[in-house]
A and B are shown apart, each in its own frame.
Chain A
C-alpha cells in the first residue's frame, strides 16, 4: 500500500512485502541477530512497540539511527516516540496506534439503567459499582480480561504514567504504591464478577461475540474484532478508560500495543528508505486517509486525526467518529518508564494476580513477583 503511494511520485520504486505473523517475526529476527547475521533481514521492519526496547538492548547494532530523517517528531505523541527511542535517539517511525479505548454494549447498559456517559471520565471504583450492578441485573460482565498474557493490569498502571520498574529500570513490584492500588482494584473486580477472567484469546473473543461481555478495554485495534460481529452493529460505543483512584498522576488514557517502522542495519540504501518512510508514514495525511479504510490501521500521526476520513461516523459504533476520537485520546496518554523486560513484568504480575485471587496473601504474591522479575533481569 505504502509502496504504491510512494511510487506515484518516485517511478521505479518498488517494495517487496513479506508478511509474517508477529511472533514469528520476532523469532526470526532473534535467530538472525543472535547468529550475528543480519543479511537476511528485510530493509524495513514493522515491530511491536512493547518488544522494541528488548531488541535495542540485545542487538544495538541491528537498527539504524533515524536522527537525520526529515520528519517532525512531535507530530507523534510523546509516549509513541519514547517506545522507539534510546538515549534521545530516534530509531523508529511510529505507525500503528495502540491508544486504549473502552467499548461498551449500550443495549446491556440500558437494561441496567446506564449510558456510556455514566462510564466516561470515571474512576475504577465507580466502574466497579456499575459493574456489580450490571452483573446483578443482566448477568453480564462489564469487562473481560485474559489471565495469562493479559494486558488489563498493564493498561491500568501505565494510565498513571507508572510501570513495574523504577526510574533506573529496576524491578519495582513489591512496595509499588500505584501498582498495588491497581492490583487491589483488579483482584476485587475479578472476585466480584465485574471482570470475567478468561484463559486465552479465543475465550476472550468468544465472550465478546457470545454477548457475555458488556464491555471491553484494550488497544483500539480491538475495534476490528468487534466489527466482525455484524449482528452487534450499532450496539457498541466507545469512550475513555476509568482511572485509578487516589493516584495524583492517574489519567483516563493508556496505550496497549501498536507498532513502529524500523530500518535495519542490513538496508543497503538507507537514504531511500528514510525518504520513503518520511514521505509516507512520517508526513502524509492523504496517505493515512488512503490506508485507513483498507487496513483499519489507525495512525499515531496526530495530524491524521483531523482529516474528514478520520472524522466519518462509524455505523458499528452508533455513528461515533471513532478514529478521530482514538487519535485524540492518544495525544493524552502519559509517558512512563518503558522497559525491555515488559513481557517478564507482565507475566510476573499476572501470575501474582491469579495467585491472589486464588487466596494467596497479597504481599507474599507481590514479593514473589518482585523476586521473579529481579531474577529475570540478572544475567
Chain B
C-alpha cells in the first residue's frame, strides 16, 4: 500500500518534471509564432493598409483563384521540391556515411569542405552563381572549349535552364547542411552493428541500405520535413539568382508574397492569405511524412 503510494507520487513528480521541461520552449513558440499567425489570419480577412483595414471575409482567398502569377509560382515551387529534395538528401546521407568511416584520413578537412557552402554568405553565393552561369561565364567557356556549345548559352535567360540552375544552386548550398544532421545521428548507431554486418558478408552498398538508412529513419524524416518546409518557403534563390525571371518562370511563392508586401503597392491582407495557403501546404505534406515514417508506436 505504502509502496504503491510512493510510486504514484514519484511518477507524478516525473510527469510534472516533463511538463516543466518543455514549458519554456512551448510558451515561447506560442507567443512568437502562433499568436502572430493568428493575427496574420485576421489580417488575411481584411483589405486595405495600415490603419485603414476593413473586414472583407474570404475575398482574399478567392483572389488566389484568379491570380495567374501566384499559381505559376506554386507550380515552380513544387517543381523545385520534387526534383531537388530527394537528390539532395540522398547525396547528404551518402556523404555522411563516407565521412563517418574511421579509416578515412583527413576526415575533418573533407567534412569542413562539404559544409562550407552553407556557411558562405548569400551575397557571394548569389554573385558567383550568376557569374558562373552568365553568357560569358566560366561554365559557358568550358562548354565551348569542349566543343559542346558553339556560342554562350543564356542559362539564366531561358525558363528551363534557369530552373535547373536554381536546383543546382540549392543542392550545392544545402547538402552539407543536411549532412551535419546525418553525421550527428550516425554516432548513435553502434559501430558493432557494422562489424556484425561485415562478418555476415554484407558489402558497403548493402550495409548502407540495409542498416544505415533504416537506423537513420528519424533523422531522415526530420530533414525531409525541414527540406519541404525550406523549399516551399524558398525565397533567396529566386530573388537573387533570377529575379523570378525570365517572365516569372522561376518565381517562388515566398518571392511573390514578398513582392506583394514590399515591392508593389502593399497588400498585406492578400499576402497573409497566400502565406496561409503556404502554411497549410507545408503542414499537410509534413504530416503525411510523419504518418508514413513514424512507426515507433
Contacts and interface: CB of A to CB of B under 8 A. Distances in A.
Interface of A: 23, 26-27, 30, 33-34, 36, 54, 57-59, 61-62, 147-149, 197-200, 202-203, 206, 210, 212, 340-341, 343-344, 350-351, 354-355, 358, 372, 375-376, 379
Contact of A379 (B47, B127, B135, B261): B47
B248 interface: yes
B247 A351 contact: yes
Contacts of A36: 50-51
Nearest to B59: A379
Contacts of A344: 264-265
Contacts of A27: 262
A50 to B, nearest CB: 11
Interface of B: 47-51, 66-69, 127, 130-131, 134-136, 154, 156-157, 241-248, 261-270
Given A344-B265, A375-B66, A148 B49 contact: no
Contact of B49 (A59, A199, A355, A358): A59
Contacts of B266: 30, 34, 54, 58
B136 A148 contact: no
A148 B157 CA distance: 10
A148 B66 CA distance: 23
A53 B7 CA distance: 71
Contacts of B269: 379
Nearest to B156: A199
A23 B262 CA distance: 8
Contacts of B134: 199, 202-203, 206
Contact of A351 (B47, B248, B264): B248
Contacts of B267: 379
Q: Name, among B127, B135, B269, the residue most crowded by chain A CB atoms within 10 Å (CB to CB).
A: B135
A147 B47 contact: no
Given A30-B266, A343-B264, A200 B48 contact: no
B262 A149 contact: no
Given A54-B265, A203-B135, A351-B248, 6 more contacts: A36-B51, A149-B243, A199-B154, A343-B263, A343-B264, A358-B246
B246 A354 contact: yes
B164 to A, nearest CB: 14
A202 B245 contact: no
A147 B50 contact: no
A225 to B, nearest CB: 16
Contacts of B245: 147-148, 199, 354
Residue of A57, A148, A350 with most chain B CB atoms under a 10 A cut-off: A148
Nearest to A199: B156
B39 to A, nearest CB: 10
B107 to A, nearest CB: 37
B247 A54 contact: no
Contacts of A203: 130, 134-135
A175 B166 CA distance: 36
22 contacts: A26-B263, A30-B266, A33-B49, A34-B268, A36-B50, A36-B51, A54-B265, A54-B266, A58-B266, A147-B246, A148-B242, A148-B244, A148-B246, A199-B134, A212-B136, A343-B263, A343-B264, A344-B264, A344-B265, A350-B247, A355-B247, A358-B246
Contacts of A198: 135
B50 A33 contact: yes
Nearest to B240: A200
B66 A379 contact: no
B4 to A, nearest CB: 57
Contacts of A343: 263-264
